[in-house]
Amino acid sequence: MAVSLHKSNGDGNRFRQTRRFRAMSEINVTPMVDVMLVLLIVFMVAAPLLTVGVPIDLPKTKAEALKGQDEPLSITVNAQGKVYLQETEVGNVEELVPRLAAIANNKRDTRIFIRGDRTINYGRVMEVMGLINGAGFTQVALVTDMAPRAEPAAGKRR
């Protein structure tokens, strides 16, 4: 804000103030940064929830998780024995291999994760895994949940 002071010309006011307002030519980025940070937090919280897919009860194991770079394809066998490719139900198991080949662009080294419900018959999961392996896909893995680690007793040493 600019203020100029002028000497009085005898009307009783010694100094008269005149104000001139100018348009602010600077961009205030603080509100934009605030909005972007809120959106970042929302997406960080929401992203893991979007990868769940078909709800099943995975078996527990103490094996360590596999490391990988790209997003694998997920095949799920639920408690009723229905097979899902990603989140889409596959009507007939024989349709699974052509769909996998189309999604993977016939790259047989695409990583495929098989998620089988803990109550399903082991043979059903192995049937699906055999079909996939028989079609030439080499990177097939079973998905499990991590079992809680047992704490050593207070008096025992390893």
For 81-135, the pLDDT digits (tens) are 888 888 888 888 888 888 888 888 877 778 888 888 888 888 888 888 888 888 8
The answer as to whether 121 is a domain residue is yes
For the record, the structure tokens of 80 come out as 């009723």
**Residue 126: which CATH number?**
3.30.420.270
Average predicted confidence (pLDDT) for the chain: 76
For the record, the structure tokens of 22 come out as 């100018």
Helices (H), 7-95: 30-46
Give the domain range for residue 79: 55-146
The answer as to whether 12 is a domain residue is no
Q: What is the pTM of this model?
A: 0.52
The answer as to whether 5 is a domain residue is no
Q: Tell me the three state secondary structure of residue 2.
A: strand
Please give the Cα distance from 133 to 139 (Å, whole number): 8
pLDDT digits (tens, 9 = 90+) for 132-150: 888 888 888 888 777 676 6
The answer as to whether 108 is a domain residue is yes
- How many domains would you assign to the chain? 1
| Dihedral sign computed on CA atoms, order 86, 89, 91, 93 | positive
CB-neighbour burial class of residue 75 (10 A; exposed 0-12, middle 13-18, buried 19+): buried
Please give the Cα distance from 145 to 59 (Å, whole number): 6
Starting at the edge strand found earlier in the chain, the sheet holding 73-77 runs 88-90, 83-85, 73-77, 112-116, 140-143
